[in-house]
A and B are shown apart, each in its own frame.
Chain A
Amino acid sequence: MSENGICKITVKTRYFGKLRELLGTRTETHIVEKGATVADLLLDHIPNKHLSVSKIWKETLFRTLKGEHLQEKNGTPVLKNYLVIINGKSAKLKDCLKEGDEITIMPPFGGG
């Protein structure tokens, strides 16, 4: 897909537990720039689609210190103990998204 000369791709996100409750949806689609990463999705696209809870979303997923996001040496934000799965396989924040990817964001487990 192309919009203003920028190549776009469509990905699907799935939420469970407290994230499903926070966003009020189980699944949704996002149109992102080709080359966008998991970090871009979690820090920009998802919170921008849910502006009323964007602050809570970021504080829920990422480690902060005095209101600022902690970052790795390479500038990548630090995810709390949440898991990101792309098409059934474990993913990292720096991983690039591809057309049709299904990204599942999972809070810490609580079964039993």
Chain B
Amino acid sequence: MKKLKIGIKQNLDSLGSLIQELKKSSNEIGAITIFVGVVRGIRENEKVVRLEYDAHEALASQIIEKIINEQKTKHGIIDVVVEHRTGLVMVGEDVMYVLVASKHRREGRQALSEIVDRIKFEVPIWKKEITEKDSYWVENV
């Protein structure tokens, strides 16, 4: 079992350093597939000012680990890194990185898509959107 790297924290590590770290985890890696979540500046014609994230960090890490292990079994991927920010995040800033290392790109892409979807719906992270006119907590339902 490869070492997972999961971070629910105020600042993300640099994408470059995460890629380098993943590459070191196995010489079987032939593809690293990456998702970068970015704070969008417009939502339903309203200008977004910033986002505020809250998280149950311990439980979130535990659930992400479960999701990753299930995806490893399902798709045979080699290793995964997930980092998600908490606190205030400004428009245009990165908010989440998911990196999937696999032997080939196909299983990496499938696993990446499923991991990102499941993080939105299964992991205890909350997002408040502050627009120029209003603010509200977003519910991924």
Residues in A lying within 8 Å of B, measured CB to CB: 14, 16-18, 20-21, 81, 85, 88, 104, 106-112
Give the A-B pair count, Cβ closer than 8 A.
68
| Contact code string B100-141 (vs A, CB < 8 Å = 1, else 0) | 000000000000000010011111111110000000011111
A-B contact pairs, 20 of them (CB 8 A): A16-B54, A16-B56, A17-B128, A17-B137, A18-B126, A104-B56, A106-B56, A107-B126, A108-B140, A109-B124, A109-B126, A111-B55, A111-B119, A111-B120, A111-B125, A111-B127, A112-B96, A112-B119, A112-B127, A112-B140
Q: Is the CB of B84 within 8 A of A18?
A: no
Task: Say whether B92 faces chain A, with CB atoms less than 8 Å apart.
Answer: no
Task: Say whether B37 faces chain A, with CB atoms less than 8 Å apart.
Answer: yes
Residues in B lying within 8 Å of A, measured CB to CB: 37, 53-56, 59-60, 84, 95-96, 116, 119-128, 137-141
Q: Which residues of A contact B123 (CB under 8 A)?
A: 109, 111
Q: What residue of chain B has the Cβ atom nearest to residue A81's Cβ?
A: B141
Q: Which residues of B contact A85 (CB under 8 A)?
A: 59
Q: Which residues of A contact B122 (CB under 8 A)?
A: 109
Given known A-B contacts A104-B56, A106-B56, A112 and B116 have beta carbons under 8 A apart: yes
Q: CA A33 – CA B136 in complex, angstroms?
A: 36
Partner of A18, one of B53, B121, B137, B140: B137
Closest 10 CB pairs of A and B: A111-B125, A17-B126, A108-B139, A110-B127, A110-B138, A112-B120, A18-B137, A110-B126, A17-B54, A16-B54
Q: What residue of chain A has the Cβ atom nearest to residue B95's Cβ?
A: A112
Q: CA A109 – CA B8 in complex, angstroms?
A: 15
Q: A17-B128, A111-B123, A111-B127 are in contact. List 10 more A-B contacts (CB 8 A).
A: A16-B56, A18-B126, A81-B141, A85-B59, A104-B59, A107-B126, A109-B139, A111-B119, A112-B96, A112-B120
Most A Cβ at <10 Å: residue of B123, B124, B125, B140: B124
Q: CA A112 – CA B67 in complex, angstroms?
A: 15
Q: What residue of chain B has the Cβ atom nearest to residue A15's Cβ?
A: B54
